[in-house]
Amino acid sequence: MKNILVVGSAGQIGSELTLLLRTIYGSDRVVAGIRKTKPSQKLIDTGPCEVVDALDTDALVSVVDKYKINMIINMAAILSGTGEKNPMLAWDVNMNGLINILELARERKMDQVLVPSSIAVFGPTTPRENTPQDTILKPTTMYGVTKVAGELLGDYYVKKYGLDVRGLRYPGIISHETLPGGGTTDYAVAIYYEAVRQKKYTCFVNEHTRLPMMYMPDCLKATVDLMEADFDKLRYHCDYNIGAMDFTVADMVASVKKHIPDFEISYAPDFRQEIADSWPNSLDDTAAREDWGWKPDYDLDAMTADMLEAITRKHEQGLI
Ligand code: AKB
């Protein structure tokens, strides 16, 4: 029986993942760990919610004991944009939070820890097209530095202590339930929201910017499939490349215009352009496909149709 604690449950991925895990493993068995971000009413109504800050070891231990937690998913992170504004905070949350979780999991002999990584592990010297699983990891952001270190740390706990630690390199995640916060790929979500709200958007990266992206249903599927994969079949642990689609901002705009023809976009690139330019265009995810059957369902146009429908509904209900 899994008793799961999701740290960072109120965030973009954590909020939807927690709800999904409750439907799979049982509402009482999935604890939403929240910190500063206000959780959605759905999260509060469907199962236990506790204040959890991975930097506060005593509080973490008491939640783990209270719910007999045997698996932790660490979705708490300071992302690339915020991390460049406050590198020390990114280091503290992303590294010290992670090692606290790994140590606790080791001491309590937990069944599994899931620690997401990101395409931010790559840098300007990494091959940009079809970026291999094993390649140069020299990121130029603090977020990327912490994600490389996090992958290595997780792999170390697997090898040294036999702890089952797993992770995937998420591309930009696009969703309509909870907004992302502080990332470089946030423009892709903002384009959909502003297309519905104002029919115009000023983008902080240029129209030629191409990045790997993924729609939330695929992100959730990948996360649960990796959690459930047979440990003995995993050739990697904390660093699986997962691809779904990649497109330029111009491609996205063309896709949106099929539904909202008068949508207008302008460009005012800021410091996040350099971050985006240091990341891959596309990923080779053969290892994930071979080891645990990864296969995405959504392409750009299917995602656009779904996103615009959901955001339009929210807009009509006065929720945004
Ligand atoms: C970011 O843009 O920082 C994140 C990521 C790619 O990990 N969305």
Which protein residues are within 6 Å of ligand 1, measured from CB?
A: 79-80, 118-120, 143, 170, 172, 183-185
Helix, coil or strand: residue 34: strand
How much is the pLDDT for 226?
Answer: 98
Ligand 1, atom 1, lies closest to the CA of 183
Domain boundaries, the chain: 4-172+215-241, 176-213+245-282+298-316
Instruction: State pTM to two decimals.
Output: 0.96
Residues 142-161 pLDDT 10s: 999 999 999 999 999 999 99
Residues 151-189 pLDDT 10s: 999 999 999 999 999 999 999 999 999 998 899 999 999
Q: Quick one: which of 197, 231, 209, 154 has its CA closest to 307?
A: 197
Strand duo 71-74 + 117-118: pairing: unpaired
SS3 content of the chain, % helix, strand, coil (to 5): 45, 15, 35
How much is the pLDDT for 53?
Answer: 94
Ligand 1 atom at minimal distance to the Cα of residue 184: 2
State in Å: Cα 3 to ligand 1 middle.
28
pLDDT at 212 over 90: yes
Ligand 1 atom at minimal distance to the Cα of residue 182: 3
What's the Cα-to-Cα distance from 207 to each of 20, 125, 141, 211, rounded to whole Å?
34, 22, 22, 11
309: CB partners within 8 A, 6+ apart: none
Distance, in Å, from the CA atom of 15 to the CA atom of 309, rounded to the nearest integer, reads 20
Ligand 1 atom at minimal distance to the Cα of residue 79: 3
Beta carbons of 210 and 246 less than 8 angstroms apart: yes
Phi–psi pair at 215, nearest 5 degrees: -85, 145
Residues 85-103 pLDDT 10s: 999 999 999 999 999 999 9
Q: Residue range 212-227: average pLDDT?
A: 98
Q: Which fold has domain 176-213+245-282+298-316?
A: UDP-galactose 4-epimerase; domain 1 (3.90.25)
Q: Residue range 70-95: average pLDDT?
A: 98
How much is the pLDDT for 232?
Answer: 96
Residues 10-42 pLDDT 10s: 999 999 999 999 999 999 999 999 987 788 999
Q: What percent of the chain has pLDDT over 70?
A: 100
Same fold, 4-172+215-241 and 176-213+245-282+298-316: no
Q: What is the DSSP string of 2-25?
A: --EEEETTTSHHHHHHHHHHHHHH
State in Å: Cα 118 to ligand 1 middle.
7
Active site (catalytic) residues: 143
State in Å: Cα 28 to ligand 1 middle.
31
CATH number of 4-172+215-241: 3.40.50.720
Beta carbons of 180 and 173 less than 8 angstroms apart: yes
Please give the mean pLDDT across all residues of the chain. Answer: 97
DSSP 268: -
How much is the pLDDT for 38?
Answer: 83
Q: What is the C-alpha end-to-end distance of the chain, expressed in Å?
A: 39
